[in-house]
């Protein structure tokens, strides 16, 4: 009996690695540096190499929240079995792989969420309506918020009434403020994340004032000011070089965030299987990060090219405008443990920044097919996963 349980766990682990590879080759491996590639700030191959390393770090340091949500919060009344987890992962990975090789970015979060819900319902589980409301709200808000923020930022950068040498450092300060307050597992006590500003304030023992964490606020502003000052110095030496450095830094932050969000889609279904074998989550996160890295290095260049060149003709300004909301939305999803598609995040931001320049070369036909692929993959994943698991149960019974 124990041997059988170990065998099914191993099979589920292999399916999880396959899913991690498909995600690395698709959404998390291709989208973070696509705007930078489109702006000729970095080559396709170098982007694929860097995004793999940064995605691995993000998976290990920030992957726990989304992993636990995918594994335990998408269905109620039942706990996923190894066979159910394997079925869901294989169905989702197959759909994502189809997207990778056809050049259309299938929304990974849609397929994984749909597949896990499908097998959960086939097991007799109950829909987790409260979690679905959170997920759907973020999925619906993402294209509107991402495209709107990207549009406004791109217009601001292109406006003749504002100087880029001032706007870029201010935007850098905003990004620094976000970085100072995102949570990392290694900075907090066991099982609890903590931000850079929070950890530093705790170390120097700043007392709260009227219930406000003054130390965290002061240190957050200090980090934001430091980033802004560094960018101001950089653009004063060369505006073009400053743009490029800021763009590459943003791509790195988005790649890191992609790892923290997307690894949960690959290893989340394994979470319910770990406790019976007393397996901690950290080594599983490491394994998922390795899968993302392998996918980024072997399959991402094709999708990087598709997103960078097919969706919008991007310059450095519009690329910066696309990456800022992408980073903010990704970190919001990580914080609340919500599975989110990086294709949806980055493509909507690219479109918003593209329209800031009279359309910016946005392909409406390509976008129409992409949106259909997103919603079609969700419905297909639910239906196929439900049908496959039901068929497996009938054969086994």
Tens digit of pLDDT at every position of the chain (397 positions): 456 667 777 888 888 888 888 788 766 666 777 777 777 778 878 888 888 899 999 999 999 999 999 999 999 999 888 888 888 888 887 877 776 677 665 678 888 999 999 999 999 999 999 999 999 999 889 989 999 999 999 889 888 888 888 999 999 999 999 999 998 877 777 667 788 888 888 877 767 776 677 888 899 999 999 999 999 999 999 998 899 899 999 989 999 999 998 999 999 999 988 887 778 888 999 999 999 999 888 877 777 776 666 544 567 888 889 899 999 999 999 989 999 888 788 878 888 887 766 655 556 676 677 777 778 888 889 999 999 999 988 886 6
The dihedral built from the CA positions of residue 279, 281, 283 and 289, taken in this order, carries a sign that is positive
Asked if residues 328 and 259 have their Cβ atoms less than 8 Å apart, the reply is: no
Confidence (pLDDT) at 191? 65
Give CA separation, 165 vs 105, 161, 224, 237, 315, in Å. Answer: 35, 12, 17, 10, 17
Q: Considering only CA atoms, which of 180, 327, 173, 320 is closest in space to residue 254?
A: 327
For the chain, counts of helices (H) and of strands (E): 17, 4
Q: How far apart are CA 37 and CA 43, in angstroms?
A: 6
Q: Considering only CA atoms, which of 89, 113, 73 is closest in space to residue 21?
A: 89
Q: How far apart are CA 262 and CA 29, in angstroms?
A: 10
Q: How far apart are CA 300 and CA 117, in angstroms?
A: 27
| All residues at 6 or more sequence positions from 85 whose CB lies less than 8 Å from its CB, including other chains | 12, 15, 16, 119, 269, 270, 272, 273
E-strand ranges in the chain read 75-76, 126-127, 183-184, 194-195
Phi, psi of 143 (to 5 degrees): -65, -35
Phi, psi of 39 (to 5 degrees): -90, 5
Asked if residues 366 and 311 have their Cβ atoms less than 8 Å apart, the reply is: yes
| All residues at 6 or more sequence positions from 191 whose CB lies less than 8 Å from its CB, including other chains | none
Q: Are strands 126-127 and 183-184 parallel, antiparallel or unpaired?
A: unpaired
Q: Are strands 75-76 and 126-127 parallel, antiparallel or unpaired?
A: antiparallel
HSE, side-chain direction, 13 A CA sphere, residue 365 = 1
Using DSSP, state whether 355 is helix, strand or coil. helix
Confidence (pLDDT) at 360? 53
Asked if residues 312 and 38 have their Cβ atoms less than 8 Å apart, the reply is: yes
Q: How far apart are CA 325 and CA 145, in angstroms?
A: 8
Confidence (pLDDT) at 1? 46
Confidence (pLDDT) at 311? 47
């Amino acid at each position: 009996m124990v041997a059988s349980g170990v065998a099914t766990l191993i099979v589920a682990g292999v399916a999880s690695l396959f899913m991690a590879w498909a995600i690395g080759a698709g959404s998390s491996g291709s989208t973070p540096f696509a705007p930078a590639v489109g702006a000729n700030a970095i080559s396709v191959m170098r982007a694929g190499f860097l995004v793999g390393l940064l995605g691995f770090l993000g998976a290990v340091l920030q992957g726990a929240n989304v992993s636990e949500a995918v594994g335990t919060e998408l269905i109620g009344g039942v706990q996923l079995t190894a066979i159910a987890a394997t079925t869901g992962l294989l169905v989702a990975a197959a759909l994502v792989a189809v997207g990778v090789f056809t050049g259309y970015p299938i929304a990974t979060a849609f397929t994984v969420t749909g597949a896990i819900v499908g097998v959960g319902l086939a097991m007799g589980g109950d829909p987790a309506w409260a979690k679905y409301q959170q997920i759907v709200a973020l999925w619906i808000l993402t294209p509107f918020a991402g495209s709107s923020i990207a549009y406004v930022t791109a217009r601001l950068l292109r406006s003749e009434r504002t100087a880029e040498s001032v706007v870029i450092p201010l935007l850098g300060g905003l990004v620094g403020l976000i970085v100072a307050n995102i949570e990392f597992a290694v900075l907090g006590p066991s099982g609890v994340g903590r931000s850079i500003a929070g950890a530093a304030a705790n170390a120097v023992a700043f007392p709260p004032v009227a219930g406000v964490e003054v130390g965290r606020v002061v240190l957050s502003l200090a980090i934001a000011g430091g980033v802004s000052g560094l960018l101001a110095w950089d653009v004063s030496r060369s505006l073009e070089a400053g743009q490029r450095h800021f763009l590459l830094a943003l791509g790195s932050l988005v790649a890191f965030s992609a790892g923290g969000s997307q690894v949960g889609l690959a290893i989340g279904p394994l979470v319910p299987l770990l406790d019976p074998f007393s397996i901690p989550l950290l080594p599983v996160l490491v394994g998922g990060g390795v899968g993302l890295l392998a996918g980024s290095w072997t399959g991402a260049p094709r999708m990087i090219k598709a997103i960078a060149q097919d969706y919008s003709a991007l310059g450095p300004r519009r690329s910066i405008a696309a990456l800022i909301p992408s980073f903010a939305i990704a970190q919001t999803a990580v914080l609340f443990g919500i599975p989110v598609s990086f294709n949806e995040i980055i493509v909507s931001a690219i479109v918003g920044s593209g329209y800031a320049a009279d359309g910016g070369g946005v392909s409406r036909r390509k976008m129409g097919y992409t949106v259909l692929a997103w919603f079609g993959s969700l419905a297909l994943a639910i239906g196929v996963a439900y049908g496959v698991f039901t068929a497996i149960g009938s054969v086994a019974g």
